[in-house]
Amino acid sequence: MKLRELLFPLLAVVCAFAVGAIVVLIVGDSPLQVYSLLLGSALSWPDGIGYTLFFATPLIFTGLAVAVALRGGLLNIGAEGQLYVAAFATAWVGIKFAGLPSFLLVPLCCLAAVLAGAAWAAIPGVLKARFGSHEVINTIMLNFVAVALVGYLTQYEYRVAGDPIMESAPIGETAHIARLGRFIPGLPERIPLNVAFLLALVALWLVYVLLWKTKWGYEIRATGQNPAAAEYGGISIRRQIVLTMAISGALAGMVGINEVLGYRYRYYDGFSDNYGFTGIAVALLGRNHPVGILLAALLFAVLQRGGVPVDAFTQLVSKDIVQILQALVILFVAAEAMFRPLQKWIGGRGKGEAGGKGKGENAMRQEVAVVGQQAGVGKI
Amino acid sequence: MKLELRNVTKRFGAVLANDHLNITIDSGTIHAIVGENGAGKSTAMRIAYGFYTADSGEILVNDEVREIRAPRDAIALGIGMVHQHFMLVRPMTVTENIVLGAEPGSAVALDLRNAAAAIRALSEDFRLTVDPDATIETLSVGQQQRVEVLKALYRRAELLILDEPTAVLTPQEVEEFFSILRRMRSQGKTVVIITHKLSEVLAISDRVTVMRDGRVVGNLKTSETNAAELARLMVGREVLLRVAKSPATPGPDVLTVRNLSVQRVHGVSFDVRAGEIVGIAGVEGNGQTELIEALAGLLPESQVTGTITFSGRDLRTLDARRRREIGIAHVPEDRHRRGLVLEFSLSENSILGVHYRPPAASGVGAMLLDQKAIDRRADLVIREFDVRPPNPALPARALSGGNQQKLIIGREFELPPILLLISQPTRGVDIGAIEFIHRKIIAMRDARCAVLLVSAELEEVTALADRLLVLHNGRIAGEVDPSFATAEEIGLLMTGGRH
Amino acid sequence: MRDIFTISLVFSTIRLATPLVWAAIGGLYSERAGVVNIALEGLMLAGAFTAAAVTFYAHSPWIGVAAASIAGALVAFLLAIVCIRFKANEVVAGTGINILFLGLPGVLSGALFLSSGSTPQVPQEELLPTLAQLVPVAPHWRVFTNVSAISVLALLVVGFTWYVLYRTPFGLRLRSVGENPEAADAAGIRVQRIRFLGVILSGVLAGIGGAYLSIGQSSLFTRNMTAGRGFIALAALIFGKWRPVQTMLACLLFGFADAVTIQMQGVVKLPSGEDVPIQFIQMIPYLVTIIVLAGFIGQSRAPGALGVPYDKEA
């Protein structure tokens, strides 16, 4: 069944690219040139593939973060703020405890990343659970607050004196995690792809297990699909909201591990290239499922990698085209009802028609695969 | 106005809701359309009102073929409809609701004062008293229904379609309602009632059309038929209208409620003993929902006062999860809202409420779900409770209402419970499943379970209960012996008269 | 303290509240019809960019405003199709629109002006005029007319909206569609058409709000110049219980908070005598929004069918 479900996201991507091509045409460049730059540069070895996988790492984390939240009926737009706070926390621990040996310091830094992300996400979770205020607005507000807060801390407290760049002091040597170039022949260590990528793959598997094989995942999904029934089943909705947001934030926070421990070895202000927002597109395109998220993250990583040469080599189009493509993907995925006639034609049997006689009331209920689950998205 | 549906067919996906229907409604009559839930009667009338369009067939008004593509068209022809679930905008006034879509005044200035006067006149004409300036939120259910009828009359309806109009009325209100219908008939209006209540059909209608599985299976003069024949036509076989039940032999108190107050409930006290069914009758909206939810632990504790004791334990300190653990099962009144996660499979739904502990969850700290154990449980429920289609991987959404209800009941009955809270058990369920469910409830009682049964269907609750309490305005108006009490007695209590 | 609470604070408040009022009232039309509008941010950006770009070429701010309103209407139309026709999740689709307008202006301005995201500066005399510039008044009254014409228009729009909503058939129908679309449908009202109209109106008004940002308050468009105002406008709408006058007051409150923090810069000092770091001052509007939302949402009653796509055959 999973294979047939790939068809629809594929259609969404194709449509997004088609509209994107029109935009490029209007602007005056050649879609063919833009797209070949966008997609082609990802294929080279070692730079293309190496950088693509490196870019995919944070997208997997934020994609998982948004997906877990969506499964729980929540829309976490705050991954951007959560990953900044987490990255800073990681660097802070790496600086403060620089003397510790690797086997202590690295886990400690990772823990900092996860806890900081979870805490920053728990705030809007608590606000929603306690006051009912919508997480979309609160997470966005907290994004701005996070950026300001972390910017202040970097500028005034943790910068090396005399350094004009907005970055923190370097973390201790023992906090560094290895680049994959050390283990893979032919992959130079200058390419920032590091162990965090493997951590991302593990995270994909862990989220799968969490959602479908554990009771917590059951409770997250039940709350996301039907909070009233979940409550009837003895699940505390308030606790679920906070817990789900915390898990979501923890996943987003892992971006800090990739960035600080594996790449720059310090906190670098503004390092995120919209990872938080791209995560939304990744989660939606990946249908909130780890397999889909992996594929979607790779796709967007390819686009991000391709954005650099597009910026450099085309006259008029900038790498903003990548963000436009993301937005188009989101819109086409959200408008999935558009593809329904095509799906029926190809022979998919809708849920409402499987087996049963489905008398009256049920047959009249149109089956709508809910992207982003209406149940939890509440009223704004 | 004469209305005729000729060869009307309507499909929803794979389901044939109306199959070449031929229905003729004569002018100036009260015509009933009966059938089980899902028989297609609402669909047929919604087509006549323009809510749906038929796939094929014709509609004739006064012997002329007419195109009705939207409610606008039907209204223009003089057809009005009062739906089962009222189509009222709650924060707006009666006048605003009635004029909606036919607003007096100009496009830049709404004129509500004239409208209010016209409405007052109409309401006096038909004895449908209601205050035009009141907001819908402040009105009782009976008054809201009058607003709905006024809406149709304001638009000069000559034919009025009423979908399950008496579902929300006490027996006395039903009588008043019928006299309004007779008054309308005497003024030349045509009335169509969609209902499943055979006693009312026999009381008020001139003709009755019976539908089953989307087809018309009978068209009779009411005076020439009876309840048994109508039931047989509705179901297609002989139907037991009452389930056989041996007398109860109740044991010790299981549930003791004293002075319970929460939201609409005020100072309710009663006991339920092991091996008995205590029924709660009453028109919806009198506190039944809140009472059951409070007992199940689904209302905020801060709002609850009074005591609830379960086999000697104070229940109020326990949350919903704990209550289920100690043996209190709950079949909720709204199966789509509370009872099931429609997108989950039957398997996943079969463990809702017990998903966090063995056997559903196993391993260290009961973290992982034990899929084999879950499937075993699902198979048990599906088999014992005749859930169709018997495929545990299907999403609950794919099942009919009756089968969904059987799944829920099976899940709760298999706990097994010491106390069973069960609310509106056969709402929207077809007759075959109703029999099955009734038998299962009695079986639970015979197995020494204590059963608290809430139902708005008077026939159901009087048939099943050993003791019957009547709820009105959040208070217990009285207790009766269901085997002897008459509908009038019960109806009196339902409207607040004391026993 | 006296340095902060001056007459200029009043004008600052009005100036900062204006784009919020336009966006929030726009959102009101959409949400009272039952369609959640998260895309106010993107709609404002669309309007801001269009106004700046068009005014640069047309040399008239009013043409710029008109173009911004059309741009807003078109983008809102897209949102409406996705949400109403294709029954998309309104929050997700709105987020898509917001992301779209983080990037699209950059690409377009790259093409038009060969710049990296900002439009070229519009000369002073081609920006939106103040009331003083339009209406000659006696010198001692002049201080009161130092507000932008768009701000005055905003006030008129609020009054107009109140009248339309509560005193015209259209308003009655709009409200019914947002509360109970089934009831409206049963009464013969075209639910989808009214919802479309509500969303498009929100685009027009939010677009004008954005135009004010680029050619009223500033003189060019820069990337993501709304900086969250669209969401603050939404919070104001909720705070204002989806009612025109109360929403406007909520916008004034947020504008006031914004104005005070700007005045505080350089005036309020830390105990040590140093300036308060700018980042903390920047945070204040966002923190205020969070606090206001948390404190008052419980008392807010949303339109009954808000966020629920209307599907007749379901």
With CA atoms as reference, report the closest residue to A201 among A265, A295, A288.
A295
CA distance B231 to B218: 11
CB C169 to CB B72 under 8 A? no
Report the chain A residue with the minimal C-alpha distance to residue C241: A380
B219 lies in the same domain as B258: no
A230–B contact, CB cutoff 8 A = yes
The CATH code for residues C7-299 is: 1.10.3470
For residue A144, give how far its alpha carbon lies from the nearest alpha carbon of chain C (Å).
7
Report the pLDDT value the prediction gives residue A266, as an integer from 0 to 100: 87
The mean-pLDDT minimum among A359-363, B61-65, C292-296 falls in A359-363
The answer, yes or no, to whether residue C224 has pLDDT greater than 80, is yes
| Cis peptide bond upstream of B359, omega within 30 | yes
In a domain, B354, yes or no: no
Q: Work out the percent of chain A whose per-residue pLDDT is above 70.
A: 88
Q: Of B201, B235, B269, which closes a domain? A: B235
Give me the residues paired with residue C148 across strands.
C130
Report the pLDDT value the prediction gives residue B456, as an integer from 0 to 100: 83
CA distance B463 to B457: 10
Sign of CA dihedral B347, B352, B357, B359: negative
Q: What is the mean pLDDT of residues A18-25?
A: 90
- Residue A223 — left, alpha, or beta (φ > 0 → left; ψ -120 to 50 → alpha)? alpha
Residue appearing with tokens 């310090």: A266
With CA atoms as reference, report the closest residue to A23 among C204, C211, C52, C100.
C100
Of the residues A226, A349, A368, A373, the best mutation for testing chain B's interface (the one with the most B CB atoms within 10 Å of its CB) is: A226
A32–B contact, CB cutoff 8 A = no
For residue C292, give how far its alpha carbon lies from the nearest alpha carbon of chain A (Å).
10
A195-213 vs A237-253: helix axis angle to the nearest 10? 160
Q: What is the CA angle B318-B420-B263, rounded to 5?
A: 55
CA distance B126 to C138: 66
Q: What is the mean pLDDT of each run of 10 residues along chain B (499 residues)?
A: 91 82 92 83 90 90 90 89 87 92 82 86 83 88 87 90 84 83 90 86 92 88 85 69 75 92 91 94 84 93 92 90 94 92 94 89 82 92 90 90 91 93 88 85 93 88 91 88 80 66
CB A132 to CB C297 under 8 A? yes
Residue B149, Cα to own-chain centre: how many angstroms? 20
**CA count, 13 A, side-chain hemisphere, A154:** 27
CA distance A16 to C253: 40
DSSP state of A179: B
Length of chain B in residues, anyone? 499
Give me the residues paired with residue B219 across strands.
B209
The answer, yes or no, to whether residue A374 has pLDDT greater than 70, is no
Angstrom CA distances, A110 to A58, A92, A117, stand at 14, 11, 11
Q: Which residues of B touch A352 (CB under 8 A)?
A: 13-14, 397-398
Report the chain A residue with the minimal C-alpha distance to residue C290: A138
CA distance B365 to B457: 45
Spatial neighbors of B163 by CB under 8 A, at least 6 apart, are B42, B45, B81, B82, B83, B84, B194
Q: What is the mean pLDDT of residues A242-269?
A: 94
CB B353 to CB A215 under 8 A? no
Report the pLDDT value the prediction gives residue A128, as an integer from 0 to 100: 92
B207 lies in the same domain as B286: no
With CA atoms as reference, report the closest residue to B156 among B78, B211, B220, B236.
B78
C90-113 vs A2-27: helix axis angle to the nearest 10? 30
**CA count, 13 A, side-chain hemisphere, B52:** 22
CB A363 to CB B395 under 8 A? no
Higher pLDDT, B174 or A249: A249
With CA atoms as reference, report the closest residue to B485 among B281, B276, B198, B197.
B281
Q: Which residues of C touch A374 (CB under 8 A)?
A: 89, 307-308
Instruction: Kindly indicate the confidence band of residue C91, based on its pLDDT and cuts at 50, 70 and 90.
Output: confident
Q: Which residues of A touch B415 (CB under 8 A)?
A: none
Instruction: Kindly indicate the confidence band of residue A351, based on its pLDDT and cuts at 50, 70 and 90.
Output: very low
Report the pLDDT value the prediction gives residue C312, as an integer from 0 to 100: 62
Higher pLDDT, B156 or C27: C27
Of the residues C28, C81, C87, the best mutation for testing chain A's interface (the one with the most A CB atoms within 10 Å of its CB) is: C87
- C-beta neighbour count of B2 within 10 angstroms: 17
Q: What is the mean pLDDT of residues A192-198?
A: 93
The identity of residue B208, as a single letter, is V
Q: Which residues of C touch A324 (CB under 8 A)?
A: 100, 103-104, 107
Strands B368-369 and B207-212: unpaired
Instruction: Kindly indicate the confidence band of residue C296, based on its pLDDT and cuts at 50, 70 and 90.
Output: confident
The answer, yes or no, to whether residue A375 has pLDDT greater than 70, is no
Given a contact cutoff of 8 angstroms between Cβ atoms, the answer to whether A165 and A103 are in contact is no
Given a contact cutoff of 8 angstroms between Cβ atoms, the answer to whether A174 and A98 are in contact is yes
The answer, yes or no, to whether residue A161 has pLDDT greater than 60, is yes
- List subunits contacting chain A, requiring 3 or more Cβ pairs under 8 Å: B, C
Q: Which residues of C touch A336 (CB under 8 A)?
A: 86, 88
Task: Share the mean pLDDT of chain A.
Answer: 84
Work out the end-to-end distance of chain B between its first and last CA atoms, rounded to an integer number of angstroms. 45
Residue C43, Cα to own-chain centre: how many angstroms? 8
**Using CB atoms, which residue from A133, A141, A316 is nearest to C286?**
A141
Strands B253-262 and B305-310: antiparallel
Maximum alpha-carbon separation in chain C: 69
Q: Which residues of A touch B320 (CB under 8 A)?
A: 231-232, 234
CATH number for the domain spanning B170: value is 3.40.50.300
Q: Which residues of A touch C116 (CB under 8 A)?
A: 318
CA distance B336 to A372: 19
Query: What are the two backbone dihedrals, phi and then psi, of residue B236, each rounded to the nearest 5 degrees?
Result: 95, 5
B205–A contact, CB cutoff 8 A = no
Domain carrying residue B312: 253-341+400-494
CA distance B343 to B333: 19
Instruction: Kindly indicate the confidence band of residue A360, based on its pLDDT and cuts at 50, 70 and 90.
Output: very low
Domain ranges of chain C: 7-299
The answer, yes or no, to whether residue A320 has pLDDT greater than 50, is yes
**Using CB atoms, which residue from B72, B100, B108 is nearest to C168?**
B108
Instruction: Kindly indicate the confidence band of residue C142, based on its pLDDT and cuts at 50, 70 and 90.
Output: low
The identity of residue C105, as a single letter, is P
Report the pLDDT value the prediction gives residue B499, as an integer from 0 to 100: 44
CA distance B202 to A197: 74
A350–B contact, CB cutoff 8 A = yes
B133 lies in the same domain as B213: yes
CB C179 to CB B109 under 8 A? no
DSSP state of C301: -
Given a contact cutoff of 8 angstroms between Cβ atoms, the answer to whether B364 and B405 are in contact is no
CB B342 to CB A226 under 8 A? yes
Q: Work out the percent of chain C whose per-residue pLDDT is above 70.
A: 91
With CA atoms as reference, report the closest residue to C191 among C204, C200, C178.
C178
CA distance A138 to A249: 14
In a domain, B88, yes or no: yes
Report the pLDDT value the prediction gives residue B243, as an integer from 0 to 100: 67
In this structure, what token pair is assigned to residue B326? 């100690």
Report the pLDDT value the prediction gives residue A370, as an integer from 0 to 100: 27
CA distance A294 to B201: 61
Report the chain B residue with the minimal C-alpha distance to residue C164: B108
- C-beta neighbour count of C118 within 10 angstroms: 18
In a domain, B387, yes or no: no
> In CATH terms, is domain A56-303 a member of 1.10.3470?
yes
Instruction: Kindly indicate the confidence band of residue A367, based on its pLDDT and cuts at 50, 70 and 90.
Output: very low
CA distance B12 to B34: 21
Spatial neighbors of B334 by CB under 8 A, at least 6 apart, are none
Task: Enter the pTM of the model.
Answer: 0.84
In a domain, B393, yes or no: no
Report the pLDDT value the prediction gives residue A344, as an integer from 0 to 100: 64
**Using CB atoms, which residue from B12, B86, B96 is nearest to C172?**
B96
Domain ranges of chain A: 56-303
**Using CB atoms, which residue from A216, A356, A359 is nearest to B38?**
A359
For residue B226, give how far its alpha carbon lies from the nearest alpha carbon of chain C (Å).
35
B349–C contact, CB cutoff 8 A = no
B97 lies in the same domain as B225: yes
**Using CB atoms, which residue from A131, A149, A274 is nearest to C283?**
A149
Given a contact cutoff of 8 angstroms between Cβ atoms, the answer to whether B353 and B332 are in contact is no
Residue appearing with tokens 């849920």: A351
CA distance B279 to A379: 38
The answer, yes or no, to whether residue A2 has pLDDT greater than 80, is no
Buried b (16+ CB within 10 A) or exposed e, C84-93: bebbbbbbbb
Sign of CA dihedral B287, B289, B292, B294: negative
B195 lies in the same domain as B257: no
The answer, yes or no, to whether residue C218 has pLDDT greater than 70, is yes
B53 lies in the same domain as B168: yes
In this structure, what token pair is assigned to residue B21? 């229907």
Report the pLDDT value the prediction gives residue A5, as an integer from 0 to 100: 73
